[in-house]
Amino acid sequence: MCGIVGIYCFDKRRGVDREVFVRQVDALAHRGPDDGGAYFEPGVALGHRRLSIIDLGGGHQPMWDSEGRLGIVFNGEIYNYRELKKELEQEGHRFRTDSDTEVILNAYRQWGARCVDHFVGMFAFCVFDRQERTFFLARDRLGKKPLYFYKDDERLIFASELKAILMDPTVPRVMEPTAVVDYFAYNYVPGPQSILRDVQKLPAGHAMLVSPDRVVMQRYWDVDFSHVDRTKNLEQNATALIAHLEDAVRLRLRSDVPLGAFLSGGVDSSLVVALMARQLHEPVKTHTIGFDEAEYDERAYARETAALYETEHHEKIVSVDAAGIIDQLSWFYDEPFGDSSAVPTYYLSQATREKVTVALSGDGGDENFAGYRRYQFAMAEDRVRTHVPHFIRKNLIKPVADIYPKADFLPRYLRAKATLTNLAESHERAYFLSLTQKTYPRLLSPTFLTGVSEHDPFEHFQRHLAQCGTEDRLARLQYVDLKLYLCDDILVKVDRASMAHALEVRVPILDHHIVDRAARLPAKYKLDGQQTKVALKYAARRMLPRQILERKKMGFTIPLPEWFRGGLRARAEAAFFGQKGGYSGLLDTAGLRRMWYEHQLGISNHATVLWSTLMFEEWARRFMSGGDLAAGAVLPRGARPTRIQTEALPALRA
């Protein structure tokens, strides 16, 4: 895993500030402390920070092909690089290293832009063609690896993280108002827009060609829910699924450094560990964190799987440093990020990195196989909705929902207001409302809200629903979750938390072959009444005990409501109401104060929205207050400095 950055000037006579660019590269040193490289030629700069995983001695970047025509900076892993290398050698290509980076270079020489079709992995890379003077940028199918870019009339700057782009003081730091609204609705910023007006994210499954006269973006992959395979029964589907999972895990065990796994004790991470144990010749190194509060602690469940597969199990009790963790998250996440499970993910990554450099995780099972309880609620509500005429839902149920009291303290299925509200809406709009925060108008200033009155965060749902290619109710919700929640929340959370500690996390359940197979499953093999992840659990039944397969989903949660009344209280009050608070200038202090007191008195549980507001304010203080970001971009202890490439490249053929 690594960090990449580059600059393309549309006029090659424009110079690149080398000092600023090296600072941009070094801003990513936490992602790659083992090595750093930078290359310059007129109007172009390429930079790379390396975390050495494969071919420890031979993978220095920027890397060049034998002719000196193609150069590359690459973040990620191509798991099938050995198979591709053999195939490319048969086509006449020669290799000087055993790295997957060189495989990408020769794959681009062989197949051009369609090289991405051959890759099994997670990646964001740029290939520079010196002959044609083009950048070819690509991001993996599901967005496991990030890629931001800034473009103006004179240049394009790309980077793995937003902070690297902002190390250039000439890049404007102007918030995009609609992205602010989206953040407070979703608790993250949905792509392709970033929180900044002038910075975009390359969408997952897309590539971009940059040349002197144009920039062209094109989608090369999408998950297809339209071809459901109804020819196989549950047993046949489960057998095929296990075969794909075994292959996905096998490929992700390729590493020249110590390797382990995250283990929560849930179905997904336990299944990954079980498959690892089948293939490794030594005990799997498993890692779990816990909290003092029993209702948030999954260690007992993780121990069951660890004991069953005789893993080398490591546990760590998290004692949260409120001030420290907020400072760390606001720096490493670049954009405001309101998912509080970033906290345990950060600490889990920190603890895991003490033992290994690579960890496999169980992410993706819920999105692929309909594991979230919200799918149950959505489908149950839809069954009711089909029996109640729209006229009644609009004119009777909706008015009742509007006056019904809130009951946030109750479980989701007992909150009549939420259920009535959803029944009055369409299937997809109701699902959107169940996922998003509806209190942000109480938080944001009236002046700001007036300027964004025509923007509806539901537009992101509508955009993806228009592209999903199926009318199946469950599949449509899954498609949107893959495009939004998985890509811009879950995968962002894991990437930033793990890379903060130079830990590479691999996600076998999100192998695109498994995603494709899951999309072809009939709905009944994913969600059947109250049973979730039907095919996956059936496939795992010979490897995992019943108590793990049937245990209620817990989620990676933290005692946030209690923290806001305890260890986080002083920090939050200072950020919201103190003399140096309100950095963003966008909040309605009176509305926020009412919510704060309601939470402190136990009238309502506002922990989620308070956390997202706190992270927004801390991000604004760090990135928007006019401070010098370069002060935070110091090389981590032990990180090697970035080396400017001075070796002459071969002359290009005329």
The catalytic residue positions are 2
SS3 110: helix
**At 627, phi and psi to the nearest 5?**
-75, 165
395 DSSP assignment: I
CB count in 10 Å sphere of residue 65: 20
Q: From its phi and psi, is residue 623 left (phi > 0), alpha (psi between -120 and 50) or beta?
A: alpha
Q: Which amino acid is at 309?
A: Y
**Are 53 and 358 a contacting pair, CB within 8 Å?**
yes
- CA distances in angstroms from 6 to 28, 139, 172, 297, 635, listed in the order given: 12, 15, 17, 43, 19
Q: Determine the Cα–Cα distance for residues 35 and 58; give it in Å rounded to an integer.
A: 11
**Are 514 and 381 a contacting pair, CB within 8 Å?**
no
Long-range contacts of 169-174 (CB under 8 A, 24+ apart): 169/20, 171/198, 171/199, 172/196, 172/197, 172/198, 173/623, 173/624, 174/198
Residue for token digits 């560990």? Answer: 273
**Are 32 and 51 a contacting pair, CB within 8 Å?**
yes
Residue for token digits 């044609």? Answer: 132
**Are 188 and 337 a contacting pair, CB within 8 Å?**
yes
Q: Determine the Cα–Cα distance for residues 462 and 315; give it in Å rounded to an integer.
A: 43
Structure tokens at 160: 């793995």
Question: End-to-end distance of the chain based on CA atoms, in angstroms?
Answer: 36
Q: Determine the Cα–Cα distance for residues 398 and 59; give it in Å rounded to an integer.
A: 61
CA atoms within 13 A on the CB side of 260: 22
Among the listed residues 194, 335, 199, the one whose alpha carbon sits nearest the alpha carbon of residue 620:
335
145 class by beta-carbon count within 10 Å (0-12 exposed, 13-18 middle, 19+ buried): buried
- Return the exposure string of 93-114: e unless at least 16 CB atoms fall within 10 Å of the residue's CB, then b: beeebbbbbbbbbbbbbbeebe
Among the listed residues 424, 381, 334, 391, the one whose alpha carbon sits nearest the alpha carbon of residue 147:
334
CB count in 10 Å sphere of residue 409: 12
444 DSSP assignment: B
Report DSSP letters for 449-518, one per residue. HHHTTT--THHHHHHHHTTS----HHHHHHHHHIIIIIIIIIHHHHHHHHHTTT-EEE-GGG-HHHHHHH
- CA distances in angstroms from 261 to 490, 503, 533, listed in the order given: 17, 11, 21
Structure tokens at 601: 């008195």
SS3 28: coil
Among the listed residues 463, 421, 406, the one whose alpha carbon sits nearest the alpha carbon of residue 609:
406
For 477, residues 6+ apart whose C-beta sits below 8 A from its C-beta are 375, 378, 428, 431
Q: Determine the Cα–Cα distance for residues 172 and 198; give it in Å rounded to an integer.
A: 7
Helix (H) or strand (E) holding 345: helix 342-353
